[in-house]
Structure 1
Amino acid sequence: MPYRPASFYDADLKVWSSGKLEHYFDPHLSIGEIIFEEMRRHPQLIAQISATENTILTRAELHDNSMRVASYMRSLGLLQTDVVGIIARNTTHMSAVAYACFFNGIAFHSLNISYERSTIEKLFNITRPRLIFCDGDEFEQVRAATAHLDVKIVTMRNHLSDSIRIDEVLATPIEENFLPAKLEQGNDQTLAILCSSGTTGVPKAVTVTNSRQILNSSNSLTTNDVQYTHSTLDWITGLLTTVTSGVFSTKRIIADNVFDPAFFMRLVEEHQITWIIQAPTHMAMMANCPAFGTSDLSSLKYYLFGGSRASVETQHRIRSRLSRDCLHFAYGFTELGSMASINLHYDEKPNSVGRLVAGIRLKVICEKGESLGPDEVGELCLCNDQHWAGYYGNPEETHKMRDAQMWFHSGDLGYVDDDGFVYVVERKKDMLKYQNIMYYPNDIEKVISAMPDVAEVCVFGVWNQMVGDEAAAAVVKKQGSGLKAQDIVDYVATHIDAKYKHLHGGAIIMEDLVRSPNGKTNRLATKAYFLEVKNST
């Protein structure tokens, strides 16, 4: 059975909390030390299968590769204060790079492969890595972006003649009597540096600590489990899967291709995948895929999704193909370094992100910063009582995100009901006003998502100086549908009584929504495309 969280409410403080975080492993051990020992315990088990590069590694082989990469880093004189850069896909030896960093107590800074040169330059200029692992596809761009840094660049695949090949690194002799390094700052030390969603401006470099919080909802994983996520190491879900696979000795399936729903569903059946964590975007693509109706997803025991909402219809369709009740909405954010809540009670609370997981406290605050009670909407603030080094090199934004009392200010508006279930209403910054009446895009998105021919939708405000934010929609229709933009406008007009929520700004049909590098719908960029289309007609 999966971990079942419960929430407790302190009416005096107006704070919700879950049980204490239990330590299955010695709390003084680092993530790297745990993985090092666990890989030695199960040497013959298959650790990883690449479905795109057709490689198989046992845990002994992956352990050996990780020590070789770690020994290479040590031969370069890298210290725990140094940073290793990563901008690569889920290729065969990517896990060895991550584990090598864990073994050495060196944080890696992982960027998305779709970042343009200027973004790569700005981000790596913050952390100034001495060693970068990337694919040959991005080598020239990475080299140009880091030309002012003293950095070595290793390519993971599609090697160029003047790059250091990962094969050369893997030929490094393992240091005699190799042991993982003791962390100089203990488990307060940074494990990894990821990137914020980056829907506006340059993404921030988000530190994630060695805290055990990252394991807070994965204790049910065993050596019998088979894990998969399409997320790369610049996503918290990619980091989570890499860590939990190493800690709990699961088999991990990886792929370095662009997400293909039919391909993914074949992987589930072929490898009998039991655990996945997925973006709602990929869920919608699956539900809209011709192969979905005949796919065999019966092996799945843990189907987690998060990062944004999945429409109720998409959730119903996915659940109809599962052999057990295992589709669970998980809520969290990169800065927290873990899940905050998970909904294991879909039928009872279908719109909730669930109850808090172990080690998390939550309060809801109003605009004045005062705590609110059950069913009152305000900003969700969370606390895990763990050290957080903040946004690397950005103390100003760090203080905005986490206050002096260690509360993270999520920027999400929501509430908690009398049963301790958390609900996320909308992003605080997404609030719109029409004729001075406040509303949220999600109010309209939920209605449009119920249309039989709609696969995905993004609603935003188009400014009109006379009335304020006019709601507008960009919609991806289902395959074979004859849906027209006016059909959407008309549907909203007949299904929402409040006229201020009607699509006064209009609607368009798109092949796909504009997305941030981490796969989330980029509302601002989708709106910009909408305006471009409207202005050209």
Structure 2
Amino acid sequence: MLDLNGNPTTSYDARLKIWSGAKEQSYYNDELTIGQIIFRQLQSEPQRIFQISHSENTRLTRNQMLVNAAKVSVYLRQQGFNSETHVVGIVARNTTHLAALGYGCMFNGTTFHAVNPNLDVHTTSKLFDITKPRLLCCDAQDYDKMQNVARTLGTQLVTIDGSIAGVTSILDIFETVLPEDYKPASFENGIDRTLAILCSSGTTGTPKAVTISNSRKIFEAHSYLSLNDVQYAPSTLDWLTGLITLITAGAYGTLRLISKEPFSPAHFLTMCEQQDISWAVLAASHIAMLANFPDVNAKQLRCLRHLLFAGGHTLVATLEKMRSYLRGEGILRNAYGMTELGTCVSCNYSTHTKPSSVGRLMANVRMRVVNESGEALGPNAVGELYCHHGQHWSGYFGNALATNEMRDTEGWFHTGDLGYFDEDSYLHIVERKKDMLKFMGMMYYPHEIEEVIAQMPQVAEVCVFGIWNETQGDAAAASVVAKSGCQLDASKVLAFVAEKISVSYKHLHGGVQVVSALAKSANGKVNRQAVKAAYLNAVRDS
């Protein structure tokens, strides 16, 4: 439910100190799986173009996607995939037939575990050792890496993009005979069945295998999408945003635009001009790259009606610049969510008036702000954010201890994020709880110093982290990326921070490095630990 200005409504219970999104009833009954919902949608207007691969120059109609996915489902049945514990492993980029594989698993009620193809073989093997998939699907370019993983698990390999002699490919699976009376599998209370297993972000440790149910929340937050929308996200299927775009395309019948090329401003602008993207979901770092790209202009982005970003903090100056290229207010939106919740928790439609906020709560989401003593806090008080979405969650696959640490007995997720609600019930994220640093006995957050450095006109991106020593604590240090064509000296950054911040404990006692790029995780988030490691390596080698 939206207010008169188009923002989600959020109410506050001052007695319980709980913020709540609007109460909304789902359109679908609890017996249906998402696969059944998508199957019905794909049956309408069968000759309508459903997916375009920009990088491969391929087009698939709804009927082609439906038939291919149904054949994957039949193949899985023939291979004995008849239990929720029977898992398909996926390591793949956004190529032509990935969607059919995903939908086919959904049609059969088979859980798929998606892992990013850029992860090292050790981490990939460790993740699949948790879920032990009975089938591993990968791109041909990753076959050698995945062959070792498959051999360890005793699992068959199937290629999705490209082929290997003697190895089953997705095209071979499309040769499966489809019964005339084919229907997707049905289950009692299908809404609670595990749909997928994704990876946690890994920014605070080794990624965990996160179960995602068939909850409607994964797509109903985007019910404004229509048949006329062209949607795009650079995220692969192992990220929540990648899964959301796959499901929303199927559920609402939008045109799904994909590319196996990684995000770059030039590539995104080309697709906007050629394919008329109306709905895009990017990482916060992508917005910074796009806003500071020297060749960007409003004409290239005129097709965008919804530009969502998530997965990190974006500077106010960057938001202002990005909005100047869009054709109206409310297009640029900051979303906040967690893989564990399987949905957006909040969305900010008012980045022009509340640029530092992640918005108001989505429907049927509740939130509390809790201090270290477990006491609930009111407006404008910073604490850890607890979230409740009222949906089934099977937890981290094979990790009951981590599951219990994440969600308490009352169903509240302990997000690990520090934040607060302002007097207008807008949510603000201060920082990850584990990113809070202490220097000379004083607490500070890297984000505070990043905001100051970003005011320098030569700065494109910045990451601040702590350099620890046992006598002083975490001395703030910064890695800074200069804008194209600009010269930036580390000493000027040091002096600028010292001038703008009055308290010494927030000065850059750990130093400054000007670098060509910041290390990022596979979904575009700045990886603070990796940036710090590169900084320390450079210091050691100098």
Structure-2 residue corresponding to 1:332 = 337
Q: Give the drift of 1:280.
A: 1.3
Q: Name which of structure 1's ranges 298-307 and 191-200 shifts more when overlaid on structure 2.
A: 191-200
Residues 156-235 of structure 1: matches in 2 within 5 Å?
156-184=160-188, 186-235=190-239
Q: How many residues align?
A: 537
Letter matched to residue 488 of structure 2:
L
- Could you tell me how far apart the structure 1 residues matched to 2:323 and 2:179 are? 49
Structure 2: distance between partners of 1:322 and 1:507 = 34
Shift of 1:395: 0.4
Deviations 1:491-532 (A, max 9, x none): 111111111111011111111111222321111111111111
1:305 to 288, 305, 309: 309
State yes or no: 1:414 paired with 2:397: no
Amino acid at match of 1:327: L
The corresponding residue for 2:447 is 442
Residue 200 (structure 1) shift: 4.0
Go from structure 1 to structure 2 and tell me whether the alpha carbon gap of 1:149 and 1:466 turns closer, same or farther (over 3 Å shift). closer
Q: What is the alpha-carbon distance in structure 1 between the residues aligned to residue 522 and residue 276 of structure 2?
A: 29
- Equivalent positions of 1:496-515 (< 5 A) are 496-515=501-520
Report the equivalent of 2:27. Answer: 24
Residue number in structure 1 paired with 2:410: 405
Q: 1:292 aligns with which of 293, 296, 299?
A: 296
**Deviates further, 96-105 or 147-156:** 147-156
Q: Conserved in 1, the CA contact under 8 Å of 2:320 and 2:352?
A: no
CA displacement 1:264-306 (0-9 Å, x = unmatched)? 1111111111100100111222223232136510111111000
Matched, 1:15 2:26: no
- Do the aligned partners of 2:30 and 2:190 also contact (CA within 8 Å) in 1? no
The correspondence for 2:263, drawn from 256, 259, 262, is 259
Q: Distance in 1 between matches of 2:47 and 2:410?
A: 47
The match for 2:63 is 60
- Separation (CA, whole Å) in 1 of partners of 2:299 and 2:480: 26
Q: Determine whether 1:382 maps to 2:387.
A: yes
Distance 2:163 2:489 in 1: 46
* In 2, Cα distance between equivalents of 1:133 and 1:58: 23
Unaligned 5+ segments in structure 2 are none
Matched, 1:321 2:325: yes
Secondary structure of the corresponding residue to residue 25 of structure 1: coil
Is 1:460 aligned to 2:459, yes or no?
Answer: no
Bigger Cα displacement from structure 2, 153-162 vs 136-145: 153-162
- The match for 1:109 is 113
Moved more, 44-53 or 25-34: 25-34
Could you report, residue by residue, the CA deviation over 1:12-68 in whole angstroms, capped at 9, with x for unpaired residues? Answer: 111010112332333432111110001102212211000011000111111111111
Q: Report if aligned partners of 1:216, 1:338 keep a CA contact under 8 Å in 2.
A: no
**Structure 2 Cα separation of the partners of residues 201 and 351 of structure 1:** 27
Question: Shift in Å at residue 261 of structure 1?
Answer: 1.3
Contact 1:80 1:104 in 2 (8 A): no
Identity of aligned residues (%): 47
Shift of 1:248: 0.2
Distance in 1 between residues matched to 2:141 and 2:490, nearest whole Å:
38
State the shift of 1:201 in Å: 3.7
Give the match for residue 535 of structure 1: 540
What letter corresponds to residue 522 of structure 1 in structure 2? Answer: N
Counterpart for residue 8 of structure 2? 5
Q: Tell me which of 54, 77, 81 is aligned to 1:74.
A: 77
Contact 2:150–2:156 at 8 Å: present in 1 too?
A: no
Amino acid paired to 1:31: I
SS across alignment from 1:16: strand
Q: Which amino acid aligns with 2:185?
A: A
SS of the aligned residue for 1:220 comes to coil
Report what 1:350 is aligned to: 355
**CA deviations over 1:110-164 (Å, ceiling 9, x no partner):** 0001111111111111111111211011111111022122322111223222321
Cα distance in structure 1, aligned partners of 2:45 and 2:69: 15
Q: CA RMSD in A?
A: 1.4
CA distance in 1: counterparts of 2:263 and 2:419, whole angstroms: 31
CA distance in 2, matches of 1:224, 1:26: 26
Q: Indicate which of 32, 35, 39 corresponds to 1:36.
A: 39
Contact residue 112 and residue 518 of structure 1 kept, 8 A = no
Contact 2:31 2:189 in 1 (8 A): no
Q: Give TM-score scaled by structure 1 length.
A: 0.98
Aligned: 1:137 with 2:141: yes
Contact map agreement 1:233 1:239 (CA 8 A) in 2 = yes
Contact residue 21 and residue 216 of structure 1 kept, 8 A: no
CA contact (8 A) 1:42 1:249 kept: no
- CA distance in structure 2 between the aligned counterparts of 1:447 and 1:401, rounded to whole angstroms: 33
Choose which of 453, 457, 478 in structure 1 pairs with 2:483: 478
Q: Match of 1:42, as an amino acid?
A: E
| One-letter amino acid of the counterpart of residue 70, structure 1 | S
